[in-house]
Chain A
Amino acid sequence: MSNRARSLAVRAFGVAFALVAPLVVTKEARAYPWMIRHGYTSCQPCHADPSGAGALTEYGRAQGDILLRSRYGANADEPSNTSKFLFGIAPVPEGVRLGGDVRAALLRVKPEGAPAMSRAILMRADGYADVVLGRLRIAGGLGFVPTGSFGSALTRSPSDNLVSREHWIGVEIGGEHEWLLRAGRIARPFGLRSIEHTLWVRNLTRSDLDDDQQHGVALAWSREAVRAEVMAIAGNFQLRPDAYRERGYSAYVEVAPTSRLAIGLSSQITRAERDMTFHVMTYRHANGIFARYSPWGPLVLLAEADSVYQSLTWNGHRGGFATMLQADLECVQGVHVGLTGEAKNGGASGEAPSFGGWLTALWFFAPHADVRVDGILQRFGSVGPSSSALTLLAQLHAYL
């Protein structure tokens, strides 16, 4: 095969993959608030989404290659070609950001007083794109999940669904494009945006990156020392009937007085004619504070505390809370050890608080790949007797 023919074949494959991937696979799952250890207080330089997560910019890919993964003694001043989309095999036109994300896990749970259970889970298989046309932005993702993520499902099967977690169109405003006005399905701007979607601060405030995104209009503003976003929530139009859709607002503002410290406030109020959980008209109020702090290069502390108040029309009120404190220690570049403590109370009458602890090891062992192991011990408070469970979770994550 001649060089020209080979080059054409590789390019054709790249284009074909770019077209096919979004049809078969969904959304990026990287959101590492501990990147503040490198002085990154805002998310916009590296992520297409100004509040974090989503497709990576070219700069974000480069920083991921230089700062995130183990380098094994190699020169880390310049990013390697493998940092690019599809390891640089398929050139991507300027203004187009493509990505893909596969995360598989082995889960073992040992509840108190019951046998342990193990299972394999495909947590995520996503493809996504972000296209920049001058000031116009068009972004979206498409993927597949064998189970769960019903809130982002496009198809109606009880399992094996196509999902689209985000899809939006927006326009960048301002001399430095510091504003982004967008409409579509967008992650709720609230609290710390992290990949641990089962943390209670994410569950209780319904703000995870798995399937809690909502349709609506959002305005984001991002500068070095301040970032903020407010979203008018029109509801999740991938759920029906309409009575279950939450409507209201969600917002946060974060201020970074130094390059190693950021403190933010979050707030959301939504109303649903029929709440998904309680099946009655419900007003949900969530308000909280969060912070990121790196007192020493290798160490980052993340904290969040949220109050959640639910007014269940004609069925009483619930005032609860969720909180977490996480320490991330990067022992050597690419190798992290994490310790997380969390607590919550759903607010039911007589409900005891729940407590949890996570011990995490994370290794970005190669370009576009990492492994992660979590040991999670949780004590679940309830109206009745409390119970506990020990969970072991091993994940292999690769992205294109």
Chain B
Amino acid sequence: MVKRLARSWATTAVAAALSLFPPGRGAEASPTYPELVRDTLALGATPTCLLCHDSLQGGAGTVVTPFGRSMQGFGLVREDPGSLAQALATMRARHEDSDGDGIPDLDELALGGDPNDGPGRGAGDEPLQHGCASTPLRDPRVLDASLCALGAALVLASRRRRRA
């Protein structure tokens, strides 16, 4: 009896966790800096964290790129979208060219280039990209629905076993 209850409780807990935290939920959190940069500059794609940071995860203390340091110099601080907007406005006004390649950073971003690539990199060099598939995962809501259904199925299976 105790084992059944424990199993039922554990199954329900996992099902609840899956339902409460479906993968797509993270996408509803506050917009990140890359998304704000994309929206503010009307870019065609969201830049990765490598625009400013030394890793794909970003994080405090990892801003090392010329563009990232310029943004910090113009007042950008962590987790403050207002400071991001201010820093971008200042860069636009000053035609800042962090990597010294002759193209202002924001113009370079708008053209799909890398404001950190420096004068030594050829124009034909590809930027860093991730993934193997030919197309992105288009609708994460399908995934959310799948996991919610999975959670519900776990609960039902657990209850049926308990009744038996």
Contact = CB atoms under 8 A, between A and B. Distances in A.
Interface string B101-137: 0000000000000101110110001101111111111
A378 B80 contact: no
B2 to A, nearest CB: 8
A31 B14 CA distance: 21
- Interface size class on chain A is 35 or more
A32 interface: no
Contact of B131 (A6, A117, A147, A154): A154
B117 A279 contact: yes
Given A87-B7, A279-B117, A348-B64, A159 B46 contact: yes
Question: Which of B17, B120, B131 has the most chain A CB atoms closer than 10 A to its own CB?
Answer: B131
Contacts of A380: 60-61
A240 to B, nearest CB: 5
A162 B126 CA distance: 23
Interface stretch (A17-25, A168-176, A246-254, A299-307): A17-25
A122 interface: yes
Contacts of A255: none
A389 interface: yes
Question: Which of B7, B21, B30, B116 has the most chain A CB atoms closer than 10 A to its own CB?
Answer: B21
Given A102-B17, A150-B130, A161-B137, A122 B157 contact: no
Interface residues of B, number: 79
Interface string A1-43: 1010010011001000100110011000000000000000000
A17 B79 contact: no
B71 interface: no
B7 A157 contact: no
A396 interface: yes
A3 B138 CA distance: 42
Question: Which of A119, A279, A398 has the most chain B CB atoms closer than 10 A to its own CB?
Answer: A279
A129 interface: no
B153 A13 contact: yes
Contacts of B63: 382
Given A81-B7, A87-B7, A389 B60 contact: yes
A95 interface: no
Contact of B7 (A89, A155, A274): A89
B114 A149 contact: no
Interface stretch (A45-53, A107-115, A220-228, A332-340): A107-115
A366 interface: yes
Interface string B122-161: 0001101111111111101001001100100110011011
B57 A366 contact: no
A80 interface: yes
A142 to B, nearest CB: 12
B117 A157 contact: no
Interface string B52-67: 0011111111111100
A241 interface: yes
Contacts of B3: 80-82
B56 A159 contact: no
Contact of B136 (A125, A150, A161, A237): A161
Contacts of A102: 14, 17-18, 21
Interface string A309-349: 00000100000000000000000000000000000101010
Contacts of A240: 126, 128-130
Contacts of A280: 118, 120
A120 interface: yes
A227 B161 CA distance: 44
A159 B153 CA distance: 28
A369 interface: yes
A138 B161 CA distance: 33
B29 interface: yes
A398 B14 contact: yes
A211 to B, nearest CB: 6
B95 interface: no
B40 interface: no
A317 to B, nearest CB: 15
The 5 closest A-B pairs by CB, nearest first: A146-B26, A157-B136, A158-B46, A117-B79, A156-B131
Interface of A: 1, 3, 6, 9-10, 13, 17, 20-21, 24-25, 80-82, 87-89, 102, 104, 109, 111, 113-117, 119-122, 125, 144-151, 153-162, 197-198, 203, 206, 210-211, 237-241, 243-244, 274, 276-280, 314, 344, 346, 348, 354, 366-369, 378, 380, 382, 384, 387, 389, 396, 398, 400
28 contacts: A9-B160, A10-B161, A17-B150, A21-B150, A81-B7, A89-B7, A89-B11, A102-B17, A109-B60, A115-B80, A120-B28, A120-B29, A150-B130, A150-B131, A156-B135, A157-B137, A158-B34, A158-B45, A158-B46, A160-B136, A161-B130, A206-B55, A239-B128, A241-B128, A241-B129, A244-B128, A366-B13, A382-B61
